[in-house]
Amino acid sequence: MPALIVLILVVLIALGFLNSVFWVGAAVLAFGLMYYGRGGTRHEGFGTDPDYRDYRAYRDRRDRWDRRYRRQRQSRWSRQARRDERDHG
């Protein structure tokens, strides 16, 4: 099976010199081979590891918290900076 796919890829590359549409076909086939693995076996994809899913959920919660409280922290920091400048400046 892999030999047949490689043969098709070589034929598409050779035909690409006649018509550029075959270059696109060869590129799509090469991308499919590299993305899905040799022999057409499909992998699970990025982000299916349970540890990574937990990390992604944690990161999303942290980002939501940061977006929610960023304005309050910035205003507090600004007030503190003005006080510091007034008192020590």
CB-neighbour burial class of residue 30 (10 A; exposed 0-12, middle 13-18, buried 19+): middle
The pTM (predicted TM-score) of the whole model is 0.39
Neighbouring residues of 25: CB distance < 8 A, sequence distance ≥ 6: 12
Condensed to tens digits (0 to 9), the pLDDT of residues 10-53 reads: 899 899 999 989 989 899 888 887 877 654 445 555 656 788 88
Q: Where are the domains of the chain?
A: 2-71
- ∠ Cα 46 8 21 (to 5°): 85
In 3D space, the residue among 50, 49, 29, 32 whose CA is nearest the CA of residue 41 turns out to be 32
